[in-house]
Amino acid sequence: MKKGIPSFLLIVIFFLGISPGIQSGYSSEPFKDQPVLINLWVPPLPFLPAAEPKPLGDFNSLTIPLKRAGRLFLIEAVIDGVSGNLVFDTGATGLVLNSTYFRNHRITDNFTSNGITGSTGKIGCTQVEKVEVGDLYYEDIKADVTDLGHIENRRGSKIIGLLGFNMIKSFEVVIDAALNELQLHRLNRKGDRIQPPEKELKQDYVQKIEPWHPVLIMKGKIAGKQLSFCFDTGAETNAINSQAPRNIISTISITRRSDLRGAGQAGNEVLFGIMNDFALDNIELKNMETIIVNLDALSEVYGVHIDGMLGFGFLEKGVITINLEKKTVGIRFAKNTAS
């Protein structure tokens, strides 16, 4: 990762969110309800990275309900007395606030960022006294601030910000899309749960990961070639880099194409399709929708090569467990999803 890239640059939300590289305000016609890329931010200033937030609260294990807004997962939260929803987004690093609800906070480092179709608006940084998510809370942490009104407008939910992966990565994280819940388990120095589970969740597949990347990178195979995928709970669909070799792109069955229109006059075209040859080692996962789009700018911002992204279509394949202490991602597949 390039030193000095602030956490707000590491946000990726398909259809309603923010992605390093695509400008705010995109829509898709005639497929209004299909996921598309929305935003791209490019770092114009040498920011210092924020310290990792320390999670507080009197619990060893905590289950947080996840609400659905389309294919986004929302978490109820209270930030400095403001209640609303945070988008659960492992493609972001820290906390990002919607400027609509935090106008009274002192904003520093306010500047205009740029995307491929022009300016994407003002970005700033502020200090938050308290963030509360059920029994979990944080005190005196830094947050990035920007306008997230486009998310609210498209989903009709009050969005006060985004909850990034740095906020919870010290826990063992269990994401159950079928039950709409997020489990957080405190760990000892060996990476085991402090409070052992009553019934051990048997994993069908476990992959070793590299925890030092700014985002979670998983390995998957297409056309027999191992590729690097960003795991992103804020992505409403999977994505494949349009710059991938032709034999990889040819495995995707194209179903349609759609124009992406930005706030400016320029536009881009995206291809939608179905992954036919995606596998985790020898385990094949079928019928995952994907878009084909240039992700080179995303690789540039993250500082690690990314061939694709695993979003909602991957999340619904089973229960996913992330343990950075043990450097593993485990999956318990839902019935009839893997072969």
Give the tens place of pLDDT for each residue, 123-172: 789 999 999 999 999 999 999 898 888 778 878 889 999 999 999 999 99
**Cα–Cα distance, 22 to 90 (Å, whole number):** 18
In a domain, 209, yes or no: yes
Q: How confident is the model at residue 48 (pLDDT cuts 50, 70, 90)?
A: very low
Question: pLDDT at residue 1 above 60?
Answer: no
In a domain, 181, yes or no: no
65 and 26 in a single domain? The answer is yes
80 and 227 in a single domain? The answer is no
> Which pair of structure tokens corresponds to residue 20?
């390093």
Question: pLDDT at residue 255 above 90?
Answer: yes
Quote the number of domains for the chain: 2
| Structural domain of 88 | 7-47+56-176
- Residue partners of 196: CB distance under 8 A and separation at least 6: none
Q: What is the pLDDT of residues 213-242, one digit of tens each?
A: 888 999 999 999 999 999 999 888 899 999
- For residue 111, the model assigns a pLDDT of 63
**Cα–Cα distance, 252 to 195 (Å, whole number):** 43
The arithmetic mean of pLDDT across residues 263-275, rounded, is: 67
Strand partners, 289: 274
Which of 129-143, 234-248, 265-279, 281-295 holds the top average pLDDT?
129-143
229 and 167 in a single domain? The answer is no
Mean pLDDT of the chain: 81
Q: How confident is the model at residue 91 (pLDDT cuts 50, 70, 90)?
A: confident
Roughly how many angstroms between the first and final C-alpha of the chain, as a whole number?
A: 35
Residue 110 C-beta-side C-alpha neighbours within 13 Å: 12
Contact indicator for 296, 241 with CB cutoff of 8 Å:
yes
Residue given tokens 């159950």 in the structure block: 176
In a domain, 150, yes or no: yes
269 and 227 in a single domain? The answer is yes
pTM (predicted TM-score): 0.84
In a domain, 338, yes or no: no
Q: What is the pLDDT of residues 97-119, one digit of tens each?
A: 999 999 999 988 766 554 333 44
- What are the contacts of 214-219 at 24+ separation with CB within 8 A? 214/1, 214/5, 214/10, 214/93, 214/302, 214/303, 214/304, 215/10, 215/90, 215/91, 215/93, 215/165, 215/302, 215/304, 216/90, 216/165, 216/322, 216/329, 217/304, 217/306, 218/280, 218/310, 218/329, 219/280
**Cα–Cα distance, 63 to 160 (Å, whole number):** 21
CATH code of the domain containing 135: 2.40.70.10
